[in-house]
């Protein structure tokens, strides 16, 4: 397995797992909450390290999941204490993220994550950080983590597809027919934290937001079917990963940054050229209506 192969595999796994979660985040208007969670994952990772003194994948998962859920709960608490919701999100995530950055800078000497790593990941080093999990040698830890999270995400989505669908498009109906709307919300937030922490080594805590939101937003402009949106979003995620890697290699710039940029470029293309929701299509439709009138 070559070096490039592992990087492309990691980047594509990030694209797919973020892409499918992103669909639900976009439709449920949770984009900014997921932005907050992916920032605070940093605090989860560094606290898990400080407590256990190891950078084992499992402790990072647990730490990040706890802090991710705490973020949601804190935002909810501030909101019910009378703080408007956008400000509640803004305060909670900056506070937790700031603490995370302070801790990382204080212990930078002892940890392999440094401040730079936390904002743009370290995908170029991933192929060398292999672990021996389940008796299999030679697979990078990030690939393991992303693979496991992807499997968990896909299983949960298959199991609760109908529930997620109803509670996304008609929360009142979902509550009325007795679906556990709150549980589904926290489940999705938990899945978001896990995906963010698995992607952390590859793209860092901030650029993961682009991978979470941009492919889903692009797919939203191209289809009217939820199942199709999942597929398209995953495809765009992988597309951003591949194009990002090759352009970054050519420019000698950050791979993660370029993946985010390409996710934005793909969105821009859909924004202009989408046959149903694009600028051009809309302009043409307007002209036709004018002409007919």
Partner 1 sequence: MLEILSNPNVQWVLFGTTALGIAGGVLGSFALLRRQSLISDAMSHAALPGICIAFLIVGEKMMGALLVGAGLTAYLGTYCIQAIAYYTRLKTDAAIGLVLSVFFGIGIVLLTFINNLPIGGQAGLNEFIFGQAAAMTSSDVRVISSVALVLVIITILLFKELKLLIFDREFARGIGLPTTVLNGLLMTMIVAAVVIGLQAVGVVLMVAMLIAPAITARYWTDRLDVMVILSGVFGAISGILGTVTSAPISGMPTGPIIIVAACIVFFVSLIVAPKKGLVVKAYRLQQLRKQTAREQILQSLYELVEEHYQASGSLTDFAREEIRALRPLSERRFRKTLNGLERSGKIDAKEEGYALTTSGRETAHNVTLNNRYMQMYAMHEARFANLQMEKRNWDFLSLPEEERERLHALLQEHQLEPRLMQGGRL
Q: Longest C-alpha distance within the chain, in Å?
A: 72
- Tell me how far, at minimum, the Cβ of 55 lies from partner 1, in Å: 21
- Looking at 28-140, list the stretches that DSSP marks H as alpha helix, in order from N- to C-terminal side: 31-52, 57-80, 85-106, 115-120
- Tell me how far, at minimum, the Cβ of 133 lies from partner 1, in Å: 30
Nearer to partner 1, 101 or 189 (CB): 101
Binding site for partner 1 (CB under 8 A): 26, 29-32, 34-35, 39, 78, 81-84, 86-87, 89-91, 94-95, 97-99, 101-102, 105-106, 108, 115-116, 119-120, 206-207, 209-210, 212-214, 217, 220-221, 248, 251-254, 256-261, 263-264, 267, 271, 277, 279, 282
- Tell me how far, at minimum, the Cβ of 207 lies from partner 1, in Å: 5
Nearer to partner 1, 149 or 270 (CB): 270
What's the CA gap between 194 and 188, in Å, rounded?
10
What's the CA gap between 57 and 61, in Å, rounded?
6
What's the CA gap between 153 and 131, in Å, rounded?
23
Nearer to partner 1, 139 or 222 (CB): 222
Nearer to partner 1, 39 or 140 (CB): 39
Q: Are 222 and 276 in contact (CB under 8 A)?
A: yes
Nearer to partner 1, 91 or 156 (CB): 91
Q: Are 16 and 157 in contact (CB under 8 A)?
A: no
What's the CA gap between 254 and 123, in Å, rounded?
9
């Amino acid at each position: 397995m070559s070096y490039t192969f592992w990087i492309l595999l990691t980047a594509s796994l990030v694209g797919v797992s973020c892409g499918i979660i992103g669909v639900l985040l976009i439709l449920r208007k949770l984009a900014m909450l997921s932005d907050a969670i992916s920032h605070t994952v940093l605090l989860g990772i560094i606290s898990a390290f400080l407590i256990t003194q190891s950078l084992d994948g499992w402790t990072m998962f647990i730490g990040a999941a706890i802090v991710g859920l705490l973020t949601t709960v804190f935002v909810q608490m501030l909101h019910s204490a009378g703080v408007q919701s956008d400000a509640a999100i803004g305060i909670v995530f900056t506070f937790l993220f700031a603490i995370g950055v302070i801790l990382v800078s204080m212990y930078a000497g002892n940890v392999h994550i440094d401040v730079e790593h936390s904002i743009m990941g370290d995908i170029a080093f991933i192929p060398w950080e292999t672990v021996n999990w389940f008796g299999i040698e030679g697979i990078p830890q990030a690939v393991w983590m992303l693979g496991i999270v992807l499997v968990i995400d896909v299983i949960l989505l298959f199991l609760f597809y109908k529930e997620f669908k109803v509670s996304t498009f008609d929360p009142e109906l979902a509550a009325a027919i007795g679906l556990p709307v709150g549980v589904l919300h926290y489940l999705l937030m938990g899945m978001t934290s896990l995906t963010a922490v698995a992607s952390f080594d590859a793209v860092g805590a901030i650029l993961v937001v682009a991978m979470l939101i941009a492919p889903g937003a692009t797919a939203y402009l191209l289809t009217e079917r939820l199942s199709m949106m999942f597929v398209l979003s995953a495809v765009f995620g992988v597309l951003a990963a591949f194009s990002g890697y090759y352009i970054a290699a050519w420019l000698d710039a950050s791979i993660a940054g370029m993946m985010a940029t390409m996710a934005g470029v793909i969105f821009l293309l859909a924004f202009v050229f989408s046959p149903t929701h694009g600028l051009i299509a809309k302009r043409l439709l307007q002209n036709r209506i004018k002409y007919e009138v």
